[in-house]
Homo-oligomer: A and B are copies of this chain.
Amino acid sequence: MLLCENYTSHEDSVKTPYCTTHAATGLLLYNSPVMFEFTVEAQDGRARAGRFLTPHGELLTPLFTPVGTQAAVKTLTPAQVEDTGATLVLANTYHLYLRPGDEIVRDLGGLHPFMHWSRPLLTDSGGFQVFSLAAIRKIDDEGVTFKSHIDGSLHRFTPEKAIAVQENLGADIVMVLDECAPPYDYSYVQRAVERTHRWAERCLKVRTRADQALFGIVQGGVFPDLRTASAQFIASLPFEGYAIGGLSVGETKSEMYAMVELVNDILPVNRPRYLMGVGAPEDLIEGVRRGVDIFDCVLPTRLARHHAAFSPEGRLNLQNASFARDERPLDSSCDCYTCRTFSRAYLRHLIVARETLAGTLLSIHNLRSLIRLMEEIRLAIQNHTFEALYSEWLARWRGNAKRDYTEEISS
C-alpha cells in the first residue's frame, strides 16, 4: 500500500504512521487518525511549534520551504538541499504539467523518486503561475484557459484538472486551485474569493489519494471583510491544512501582516497554516508571530543567482570590489558548507569570473540562513522566549543599513 510503503523515517520522527483501507472497495481512507495529524507542541503568544505527520516523515514547524520549480532546487543537488536542513520542498505544478508532463512523472513513480527527494514534498495548484506567467485566454467559473509561456500551446486548468495533475505528481501536500486577484481591486477580489470557494469545494470532491494532504486557500486581498469571510468559509471545509494566498503581491508589509493575523485567528488551531510565496527574513519572523507554520519563497535561491547573500550585516552584494581580498566567510555565525569552506574573496572571484558555482554556493548559504532562523524560532517558542528573540532580531534588522533583500531581483 502506497501510503505505508513510501513512508521514510525522518530523523526527528517518533511515530509510526499507519493507514486504513475501506473493506468493501479496497480504497485508502482519508484522514487516518495518525496521518496528517498536526500537533501544536508549544505556543508562545500566537507563535506555534508543531509537528505535521506526512507519508515521507514528520515536519517540524515553523518551517521554511525551498522552491524546486521544475523538480530541482535551482543549482543544487538534492543532497545539497538536504544538507541545508530543508525538510519540505515545493515544486510547481504549472511548470511540471508543461514540462516534462505530469503523466511522465507519474509513470516514473512520482516526484519523489523522479527528483530523488526522500523527505516531504508540496505542489502548488498551478494557479498562481497561470495568472502570472501564462497569457490567459479565458477565465470563467469552470476554470481557466491559458497559453503556455514556453511554446504558446493552449491548455485548460479546472479544479478537477489541478487535482488530477497533482495526484500524478504525488507530493505529500497538494493545493486547491484558487484565483489570485490584484489585492486592491475590491470587486475583482470579491468575485475571485467567490470563485476560489466554489473551486475549493470541487477540489475536495474529486480528490482520490489518501496519502496526500489537501490544503485550502484563503483569498481576499487587503480587505478585512473579504479575508474574514474567506477564512470562515475555507475553515469550514475539511482540509488537512489551510493556506493564505494572494499576499506579497504588491500590498504593504503592514497590510500583509494585518491580513495574516486576521485570518490565522479564524483558522482552526489543530491544522497547519501556510503563508504562500513569502520568505523575506522579516516576514518569516512576523508571520510566525501571527501564527504561521509553513512558508515558501524563491527569494534565497533567486538572490543567490543575483550574487546577493543574507548576512547579519544585511544584504551582501558579493560582486562588490570591496570583497576582493576579504578572507572572512559570508557569515561567521553560519554553519553551512559555504561559510565553513570559502572566503568572501573566493565567492566574489567566482561571480566576477561568471562561474555558476557562485550561484550554488550562495544558494546553499541563503537557504541555510532561513532554515537556521526557523530552527532558532522553533527553539525559542519551545522555551517560551520567542518575544525576546523577536525583539532582539528586529532591533538588529532595523539597525541594518542593507535590509532590503528584494531590490533588483524581480527578473
The answer to whether B357 touches A327, judged by C-beta atoms less than 8 angstroms apart, is: no
Q: A208 CA to B337 CA in the complex, in Å?
A: 35
With both beta carbons as reference points, the residue of chain B lying nearest to A79 in the complex is identified as B337
Q: How many whole Å from A78's CB to the nearest CB in chain B?
A: 8
Which one of B71, B348, B356 lies within 8 Å of A75 (CB-CB)?
B356
Whether a CB of chain B sits under 8 angstroms from the CB of A130 is no
Q: List A residues 348-372 near B (Cβ within 8 Å).
A: 348-350, 352-353, 355-357, 359-361
Q: How many whole Å from A66's CB to the nearest CB in chain B?
A: 13
Whether a CB of chain B sits under 8 angstroms from the CB of A343 is yes
User: Which chain B residues lie closer than 8 Å to A99 at the CB level?
Assistant: 349, 352-353
Q: A325-B104, A325-B107 are in contact. Are A341 and B75 (CB under 8 A)?
A: no
Which stretch from A108-116, A162-170, A177-185, A390-398 is at the chain B interface?
A108-116
Q: A23 CA to B192 CA in the complex, in Å?
A: 86
Q: A79-B337, A343-B108 are in contact. Are A350 and B72 (CB under 8 A)?
A: yes
Q: A72-B357, A350-B72, A355-B70 are in contact. Are A100 and B324 (CB under 8 A)?
A: yes
Whether a CB of chain B sits under 8 angstroms from the CB of A74 is yes
Query: What copy number does this chain have within its complex?
Result: 2
Q: A80 CA to B76 CA in the complex, in Å?
A: 12
The answer to whether A356 touches B356, judged by C-beta atoms less than 8 angstroms apart, is: yes
Q: A70 CA to B79 CA in the complex, in Å?
A: 25
Q: Tell me how many residues of A have a C-beta within 8 Å of chain B.
A: 39
The answer to whether A108 touches B325, judged by C-beta atoms less than 8 angstroms apart, is: yes
Q: A78 CA to B357 CA in the complex, in Å?
A: 10
Whether a CB of chain B sits under 8 angstroms from the CB of A77 is yes
User: Which chain B residues lie closer than 8 Å to A233 at the CB level?
Assistant: none
User: Which chain B residues lie closer than 8 Å to A114 at the CB level?
Assistant: 343, 345-346, 349
The answer to whether B71 touches A342, judged by C-beta atoms less than 8 angstroms apart, is: no
Q: How many whole Å from A284's CB to the nearest CB in chain B?
A: 26
Q: A75-B357, A77-B360, A337-B79 are in contact. Are A345 and B70 (CB under 8 A)?
A: no
Q: A360 CA to B75 CA in the complex, in Å?
A: 8
Q: A389 CA to B20 CA in the complex, in Å?
A: 56
Q: How many whole Å from A349's CB to the nearest CB in chain B?
A: 4
The answer to whether B75 touches A108, judged by C-beta atoms less than 8 angstroms apart, is: no
Residue of A74, A77, A327 with most partner-chain B CB within 10 A = A77
Q: A208 CA to B353 CA in the complex, in Å?
A: 30
Chain A residues within CB distance 8 Å of chain B = 70-72, 74-80, 95, 99-100, 104, 107-108, 114-116, 324-325, 327, 337, 341-343, 345-346, 348-350, 352-353, 355-357, 359-361
15 pairs of residues in contact across A and B, judged by CB atoms under 8 Å: A70-B349, A71-B349, A72-B353, A74-B356, A74-B357, A75-B356, A76-B357, A77-B80, A77-B360, A100-B348, A100-B352, A104-B345, A115-B346, A116-B341, A116-B342
Which 6 interchain pairs have the tightest Cβ spacing? A70-B353, A100-B349, A72-B357, A72-B355, A116-B341, A356-B356
Besides A75-B356, A100-B348, 5 other CB < 8 A contacts? A71-B349, A95-B353, A99-B353, A100-B353, A108-B343
